[in-house]
Amino acid sequence: MHQQEIKTPGYVLDSRGVIQPGWAPRAVQTYRRADIKASPLRIKEWDFYQVSDREKCLQFTFGHASYAGQVGIMLFDFKKGEMIADISKLIPFPFGSLHLPENAEEDSDVTYDKQGVHLRFKTEGDTRFLSFSAPDFEATITLERTMPFSTVIQTPFKESPRMFYYNQKINCMTARGRAVYKGRTYTFGEDAFGLLDWGRGVWPYHNEWYWSNGTGPVAGRLFGFNLGRGFGDTSKATENMLFYGGEVTKLGRVHFDLGTAYMKPWHLYDDEGKLDLTLTPSFDRTTRIKALVVNNCVFGMTGGQMSPESLPGQKTTSSPFGRDININGHPFDVVKTLREYDIAYLARGSVSTPAHVLSAQKMIKKALQKQLNGEGFCLVEILSPCPTNWGFPDDRAYQALSYMREHQEKFYELGEFIDKGE
């Protein structure tokens, strides 16, 4: 496949907020957050570092999806095939407050220091200083670039001209430092290498991708690779590159043959016969997630429209005839949908009375604790009123609580439906 190399300096996004597709071995064009024309709620920005040797892997994460951010660290033992530590803190509604840099190569100093969690990413020339601290965990790492080349990809999405993926990956960095978890020290020395995954963009709601990356000595020379599939519209360029002995080789389309099971060996190969690689998975890592659904039976922020949860016959500001199940179908019951799944916790509460509020608080607290314990996916739905868009005047807004008890709570059953471990 023909790949479009970006050689002319300029801006990643033009005046319309549209990206120029292509690839480059270094950052040629400039990313500016202010050039994005999509909704601020859709912007994603992250800095991700990985440090590893033959025995262990250390990952630093700092990023956001506008409405939610994350700062965290993970330490993994390759020999035992188990997680040593996985510490993560959710940052609600950060938007642009994290002040992530707009260039992956220029000097920068990114810090986060709140509620007992400290993280710092400092770049000075070819040297990067990483530090993290939290209760029971401290880590300090120094990275040094060994070559001027990296993987830069500017990718559009077919879903919208204002969606894009701008990414730079810096391979083949030497790493030195240590991590201390619960009094035990893990040292990264001469056989350790580091990687930076630096991403910015506006993505579709649904996307699936594969990414493979590695660095190590081969025949006395440093070898590295970056391979990916599924990152938007890659018809103009892929992010697939090989690094060896200070030189870079660009690859075209790479196929990821995973067979029918993720934990079986992966076969990676390209169309031109330059790559034939087999990777053997050692650990299946999942992210601990809790979902909180607030159900007020209406799309209030769009003028009081009928929602999937609106009750049969229920009228809203902009649906005066109410839900007709013969025309609009039955309401969607998220709890009923998940009751047959193998999850850790599933519950539904309400805020119609003080007793219900206290019960809902306990549900949310239990879901959060199960998430921290790593027990699995949790979902809590909370029934809530919406007096304005239900059509109650200001002087009778209290009637919305009666409506909840008489209608909402009779249709949507309250209680704890799945509680593993109980």
The number of domains in the chain is 2
User: Helix or strand or coil: residue 96?
Assistant: coil
pLDDT for 5 beyond 80: yes
Q: Please tell me whether residues 296 and 273 are part of one structural domain.
A: no
Backbone angles phi, psi at 388, to 5 degrees: -60, -50
Q: Please tell me whether residues 30 and 102 are part of one structural domain.
A: yes
297 vs 336: CA distance, rounded Å: 16
Q: Please tell me whether residues 37 and 162 are part of one structural domain.
A: yes
pLDDT score for 301: 62
Any domain includes 197: yes
pLDDT score for 35: 96
Residue range 272-301, pLDDT digits in tens: 999 999 998 888 776 666 677 788 888 876
Q: What pTM value is reported for the model?
A: 0.74
Residue range 6-29, pLDDT digits in tens: 999 999 999 999 999 999 999 999
Contact between 215 and 223 (Cβ < 8 Å): yes
pLDDT for 241 beyond 90: yes
- Residues 242-259 have a mean pLDDT of 91
Name the DSSP class of 5: B
Any domain includes 16: no
Any domain includes 163: yes
- Residues 188-204 have a mean pLDDT of 95
Q: Please tell me whether residues 395 and 271 are part of one structural domain.
A: no
Residue range 353-376, pLDDT digits in tens: 999 999 999 999 998 888 777 777
pLDDT score for 373: 75
pLDDT for 240 beyond 70: yes
**Tokens 């109410």 label which residue?**
322
pLDDT score for 371: 77
Q: Please tell me whether residues 265 and 297 are part of one structural domain.
A: no
* Tokens at 212, concatenated: 């493979």
Contact between 164 and 202 (Cβ < 8 Å): yes
Domain of 391 in residue numbering reads as 290-419
Task: Tell me the average pLDDT of the chain.
Answer: 89
Contact between 79 and 55 (Cβ < 8 Å): yes
- Residues 86-113 have a mean pLDDT of 88
Contacts for 110 with CB less than 8 Å, ≥ 6 apart? 47, 62, 98, 99, 100, 101, 119, 120, 121, 122
pLDDT score for 297: 83
Q: Please tell me whether residues 194 and 60 are part of one structural domain.
A: yes
pLDDT for 263 beyond 90: no
pLDDT score for 218: 92
Of the three residues 242, 259, 279, the one that is the final residue of a domain is 279
Domain with 86 in it: what CATH number?
2.40.370.10
